[in-house]
Chain A
Amino acid sequence: MLDADFFRRWMTAAAASVDREAEHLTALDSPIGDADHGSNLRRGFLAVAAALEKEAPDTPGAVLVLAGRQLISTVGGASGPLYGTLLRRTGKALGDAAEVSEERFAEALDAGVDAVMRLGGAAPGDKTMIDALVPAVAALGEGFGAAAAAAERGAEATVPLQARKGRASYLGERSIGHRDPGATSAALLVAALTEAAG
Chain B
Amino acid sequence: MSGGEPVGIVLVSHSAAVATAVAELARGLAGGGDAVPVATAGGTEDGGLGTSAELIAAAAAAVDRGAGVALLADLGSSVLTVKALLAEGDELPDGSRLLDAPFVEGAVAAVVTATAGGDLEEVAAAAEEAYSYRKV
Per the CB 8 Å criterion, the residue count for chain A at the interface is 20
A133 to chain B, nearest CB (A): 16
Q: Is A77 an interface residue (CB 8 A)?
A: yes
Judge whether A166 is part of the interface by a CB distance below 8 angstroms: yes
A73 to B45, CA, bound (A): 10
* Alpha-carbon gap, A69 to B81, bound state (A): 11
In the complex the two chains form, what is the Cα distance from A166 to B53 in whole Å? 19
Q: Is the interface of A mostly helix, strand, loop or mixed?
A: helix
Mask, B85-123, CB within 8 Å of A = 1, is 101100000000000000000000000000000000000
B residues in contact with A120, CB < 8 Å = 80
Contacts of A80 in B (CB 8 A): 51, 53, 77, 80-81, 84
| Cβ B44 vs Cβ A76 within 8 A | yes
For residue B79, give the distance in angstroms from its CB to the closest CB of chain A: 9
Please tell me which stretch of A48-56, A81-89, A153-161, A187-195 contacts chain B, meaning at least 4 of its Cβ atoms lie within 8 angstroms of it. Answer: A81-89
Which residue of chain A has the shortest Cβ distance to B45 in the bound complex? Answer: A76
Contact B50 A81 (CB under 8 A): no
Q: Is the interface of B mostly helix, strand, loop or mixed?
A: helix
Closest to A36 in B: B50
Chain B nearest CB, measured from A25 CB (Å): 16
**Which B residues lie within 8 Å of A81 (CB)?**
53, 77, 80-81, 83-84
Contact A85 B84 (CB under 8 A): yes
Chain A residues contacting B81 (CB-CB under 8 Å) are: 72, 80-81
A78 in contact (CB, < 8 A):
yes
Contacts of B53 in A (CB 8 A): 72-73, 80-81
Chain A residue contacts of B50, Cβ below 8 A: 36, 40, 76-77
Q: Which of B51, B52, B75, B83 contacts A119 (CB 8 A)?
A: B83
A77, B54: Cβ atoms closer than 8 Å = no
Closest B residue to A169 using CB positions? B76
B54 pairs with A73, CB closer than 8 A: yes
The 7 A-B residue pairs with the shortest CB-CB distance, nearest first, are A81-B84, A76-B50, A78-B77, A81-B80, A73-B53, A78-B76, A76-B44
The chain A residues found within 8 Å of chain B, CB to CB, are 34, 36, 40, 69, 72-73, 76-82, 84-85, 88, 119-120, 166-167
